Amino acid sequence: MDRSIADFYDGQSIFITGGTGFLGKVLVEKLLYSFSGISKIYLLMRQKCDADIHKSLQDMLEKPLWHVFLRLRNEKPQSLNKIIPIIGDISEPKLGINEADEKMLIENVSIVFHAAATVRFNEPLKIAVNINVLGTLRVLDLCQRMRNKKAFVYVSTAFSNVNRKFIEEVIYPAPASLEEVENLIKAGITKDEVQRLISTKERINTYLFSKAIAESMVAQNHDTIPKIIVRPSIITSSKVEPLVGWIDTCLGVPSLMIAIGKGLNRVLLGNPNNCVDLIPVDYVSNLIVVAAAKGTRSEDVAVYGSCTSEINPITMKSLIDMCITETVKHKWNDLPMPFCFYTRSKWLVTTITFLLQIIPAYIADMFLWIFGKRKRYLKLQSTVTLVRNALENCTNNSWVISAAKSRALYHSLSPSERERFPFDPADIDWKEYIPNYCAAIGKFWLNK
């Protein structure tokens, strides 16, 4: 008889990297809330200066009332005692873990979730490779030595293979070998040379380039470790758990939505009918939890996409239109009514930005100066431009990313498990979800 998901986690100890990040916190909360039989969760945490690591953990767990761990604190407070902080850093040799902690992990841990990464698009190649590729190999090396290993789940990105317009749930050839990249770094590759390398390999930035190489490293170092790769697309606020709309970051898409909603951005480079592949953070977390317990065990690494573009797409125009409707409703805008043009011409983007953003910002700052207040709108425009440029490749391109294997995994679950761990992208109602997403951004970041 097929074991239940709860049976898989019963009595197990789990090691998580990236557990203090947006996705990581939701994953930790879901594991502890769902499985009372979990023995321990070991969190790899960087020690900041001389700060006590246990104090840092408590600060994370005891944030304001809207925080991610609220329902655990209210309903199952004793479960929080199962979280054990481990001082370390994936950028350091042997993960920066001391011998005593390493021995404890090797003897006790059976499940590993590796979600730590640098997600900066413009990260220097040396740093991106050290964290995203070598860091993954360091985690794999530790996992290989664990006595009771049952599963290793690597959290990658759905955009690791942006050189393809249709991305399937398979391991594609790496854009370069680790040895080749390390030799270039040792030879002192310049920033311009890095850009040429990434362009030649049809990748957009060092983040995606390094994640693609990391995937191939996971596949090559399969050995005796049951390994799974989960590829989420653009992770957004929670759909349901741990509370509707929870989000703790405004980087990326939320920043752009804020800029448009507040009337600070009037134009985007791209086709309004391009698909924006969004996925709620709790759907990603649920897939990770289920994939570890029920994912395919074979000689090949199983890959599961957590994305919406193939089965339940939303266009950029639909997203922005709903965003504008909600931001007006919740009174985000302290400037004239928000709106947004779309164009494939960079010249038009520059022209519209100057006419409809820079000039009004200059005039607004002039009035602030006249009334003795601090000028701020031109400075805001610099930030808006940085955000828009960072997301330019997302707004100006469109991919179809498969989640067929993920959906098959979901529909293989019992009805009760599907209810407890929803992650089928077909079930997302955008007309319900996007208003909640906007309301969450307004609540948690704009105090609206």
pLDDT in tens, 319-354: 999 999 998 888 877 667 899 999 999 999 999 999
> Residue 299: its pLDDT value, please?
60
> Residue 1: its pLDDT value, please?
37
- The mean pLDDT of 79-91, rounded to a whole number, is 93
DSSP H helices, 337-403, are 346-353, 359-370, 377-390, 392-395
Flag whether pLDDT at 300 surpasses 60. Answer: yes
- Euclidean distance between CA atoms 332 and 324, whole angstroms: 9
- The mean pLDDT of 172-184, rounded to a whole number, is 85
- Euclidean distance between CA atoms 135 and 228, whole angstroms: 17
Question: What is the number of other CB atoms lying within 10 angstroms of the CB of residue 120?
Answer: 15
pTM of the model: 0.92
> Residue 447: its pLDDT value, please?
66
Pairing of strands 151-155, 109-114: parallel
Helix pair 206-220, 135-144: axis angle to 10 deg? 20
Query: Which of 13, 22, 227 shows the shortest CA–CA distance to 119?
Result: 22
- Euclidean distance between CA atoms 326 and 359, whole angstroms: 26
> Residue 335: its pLDDT value, please?
64
Flag whether pLDDT at 50 surpasses 80. Answer: no
Flag whether pLDDT at 179 surpasses 90. Answer: no
> Residue 3: its pLDDT value, please?
75
- Euclidean distance between CA atoms 413 and 5, whole angstroms: 9
Q: How far is CA 240 from CA 259, 283, 422, in A?
A: 26, 9, 10
Check residue 195 and give left, alpha or beta (phi > 0: left; psi -120 to 50: alpha).
alpha
> Residue 409: its pLDDT value, please?
94
Instruction: Tell me the three state secondary structure of residue 35.
Output: coil
Domains in the chain, ordered, with CATH?
5-225 (3.40.50.720)
Flag whether pLDDT at 283 surpasses 70. Answer: yes
- Euclidean distance between CA atoms 165 and 215, whole angstroms: 19
Cβ–Cβ < 8 Å for 345, 197: no
Cβ–Cβ < 8 Å for 82, 38: yes
